[in-house]
Chain A
């Protein structure tokens, strides 16, 4: 209920601001909705949204699985940590734009280049979070598993993974928000479709209603995925913990 009220307040402020600024710079909510409906009925909206979502999904899965594996290794093995740390610091501080531009120069304006560039941007944060999680693993439980001769996979699944789950959830959360932002830049610079491409077109034409229609639809999709997928997973991963007051 409060959320709805808050949303209504946002719309109201927007509308009032649009009245003051004028339709060219800030179109009113109905004007934007009109563009949304037009784009949706022509199918373009879903096409671009679908392309962007597919890129997000691929890059996210790639970065999460690779990043988790590397982070776990770096948390467990000192040598891997020592070798990997300088790379990690470099990657963490490399601007997303540099990675994207270099990827397009080296691999051409291809789908693979775009997805790889997005994944590389997200990778180091996943590594750092999972490395922290692995370092925080409870040694005494490892010992318990070893004394009771638990097979490796069972110990990993029931002893290690539940301890990592909150870290994986945190990495997924922060990683997804990062990917949402970067994917549009990658599309703007070198893809012929996707929400980022459409925003680039709208920018060139100074077509604010179109820009807002695409970015707001995109934001709504992000919101739905966050509440329906990410938050339930996080809640499940930490369900055995006593709730904070």
Chain B
């Protein structure tokens, strides 16, 4: 399976001041088993891009190719749970085919066993995010989209959830698209990193990470980050130089 994204442009019409360009032409592809990471400044159009890829927004120029039968698991920025259904029902409604064993395993990994029958209003944000993760994984997705799933969580919890995501991603072949602005998350989880420019977003650089995810110890991660930092600085330098010339 393969996800191909080729957006040639997306403009947004605002009520007051005409049209804004949200996305510049951009193109990338993702294969099964790969984790692609979109990294960019806030407000650069990442969420707009995700909405287009998910088929929620049809008003754009370009083409999205994903297998029509591909099952999608999505973790939105906010948990987006149904407040009037219990934790277990929330997961089962999105994933009616999930087996009891699979569900128990997911709840065990995400430490949600004690909260099965709770309503989302009774959960902390961290717990609600884990339910959203459980829901996305329960559908056994072919395409998993994570929109800043670890934002606004404390470091310890974010670290644990990141490990859980890595475990779950490794357990089956799935195309994963992660949006984040944490370089640390990107380097720990990603196979290929796409650095986006400020609005209108375009891909500044595509950086593959060759070391397999589970072989990345702290030393390797520090090295990759240092390399990236040099690269980003270099590119920003180039861009500045280019602007100076023009």
Write the B31-62 contact mask toward A (1 if CB under 8 angstroms, else 0): 00000000000000000000100111000000
Return A152 CB to nearest CB of chain B, in Å. Answer: 13
- For B7, the chain A residues whose CB sits under 8 A away are none
Contact at B93–A154, with CB atoms within 8 Å? yes
Contact at B76–A144, with CB atoms within 8 Å? yes
Find residues 153-209 in chain A having any chain B CB closer than 8 Å to their own CB. Answer: 154, 158-159, 162
Contact at A241–B93, with CB atoms within 8 Å? no
Contact at A162–B121, with CB atoms within 8 Å? no
- For A242, the chain B residues whose CB sits under 8 A away are 121
Q: Complex Cα distance A151/B6, Å? A: 29
- For B71, the chain A residues whose CB sits under 8 A away are 149
Write the A101-138 contact mask toward B (1 if CB under 8 angstroms, else 0): 00000000000000000000000000000000000000
Partner of B72, one of A148, A154, A159, A162: A148
- For B72, the chain A residues whose CB sits under 8 A away are 147-149
Of B72, B74, B94, B95, most A-chain CB atoms within 10 Å: B94
Find residues 53-93 in chain A having any chain B CB closer than 8 Å to their own CB. Answer: none
Q: Complex Cα distance A240/B80, Å? A: 16
Residue of B nearest to A162 (CB): B84
Find residues 65-121 in chain B having any chain A CB closer than 8 Å to their own CB. Answer: 71-74, 76, 78, 80, 82-85, 89, 93-96, 119, 121
- For A140, the chain B residues whose CB sits under 8 A away are 76, 78, 80
Contact at B82–A148, with CB atoms within 8 Å? no
- For B93, the chain A residues whose CB sits under 8 A away are 150, 154, 158
Size category of the A interface is 10 to 19
Contact at A148–B94, with CB atoms within 8 Å? yes
* Known pairs A158-B93, A242-B121; A147 contacts B82 (CB<8 A): no
Instruction: Check if B22 is an interface residue, CB within 8 A of chain A.
Output: no
- For B96, the chain A residues whose CB sits under 8 A away are 154
Residue of B nearest to A143 (CB): B56
Contact at A241–B82, with CB atoms within 8 Å? no
Return B77 CB to nearest CB of chain A, in Å. Answer: 10
Return A148 CB to nearest CB of chain B, in Å. Answer: 4
Residue of B nearest to A147 (CB): B74
Contact at A144–B74, with CB atoms within 8 Å? yes
- For A21, the chain B residues whose CB sits under 8 A away are none
Partner of B84, one of A143, A149, A240: A240
Return B8 CB to nearest CB of chain A, in Å. Answer: 24
Partner of B139, one of A148, A154, A159: A148
Q: Complex Cα distance A143/B51, Å? A: 9
Q: Complex Cα distance A221/B119, Å? A: 36
Instruction: Check if A231 is an interface residue, CB within 8 A of chain B.
Output: no
Q: Complex Cα distance A146/B119, Å? A: 22
- For B84, the chain A residues whose CB sits under 8 A away are 162, 240
Partner of B121, one of A141, A147, A150, A240: A240
Partner of B83, one of A147, A148, A240: A240
Residue of A nearest to B139 (CB): A148
Contact at B78–A158, with CB atoms within 8 Å? no
- For A143, the chain B residues whose CB sits under 8 A away are 51, 56, 76, 80
Contact at A241–B121, with CB atoms within 8 Å? yes
Q: Complex Cα distance A115/B26, Å? A: 63
Return B72 CB to nearest CB of chain A, in Å. Answer: 6
* Known pairs A158-B93, A240-B121, A241-B121; A148 contacts B74 (CB<8 A): yes
* Known pairs A148-B139, A149-B72; A141 contacts B80 (CB<8 A): yes
**Chain A residues engaging chain B, CB cutoff 8 angstroms:** 140-141, 143-144, 146-150, 154, 158-159, 162, 240-242
Q: List 25 A-B contacts (CB under 8 A).
A: A140-B76, A143-B51, A143-B76, A143-B80, A144-B94, A147-B54, A147-B56, A148-B73, A148-B74, A148-B135, A148-B139, A149-B71, A149-B72, A150-B93, A158-B85, A158-B89, A159-B82, A162-B84, A162-B85, A240-B83, A240-B84, A240-B85, A240-B121, A241-B121, A242-B121
Known: A140-B78, A148-B72, A154-B93. 11 other contacts (CB 8 A): A141-B80, A143-B80, A144-B74, A146-B56, A147-B55, A148-B95, A149-B72, A240-B84, A240-B119, A240-B121, A242-B121
**Chain B residues engaging chain A, CB cutoff 8 angstroms:** 51, 54-56, 71-74, 76, 78, 80, 82-85, 89, 93-96, 119, 121, 135, 139
* Ranked 8 nearest A-B pairs via Cβ: A162-B84, A148-B94, A240-B84, A144-B80, A147-B74, A240-B119, A147-B54, A158-B93
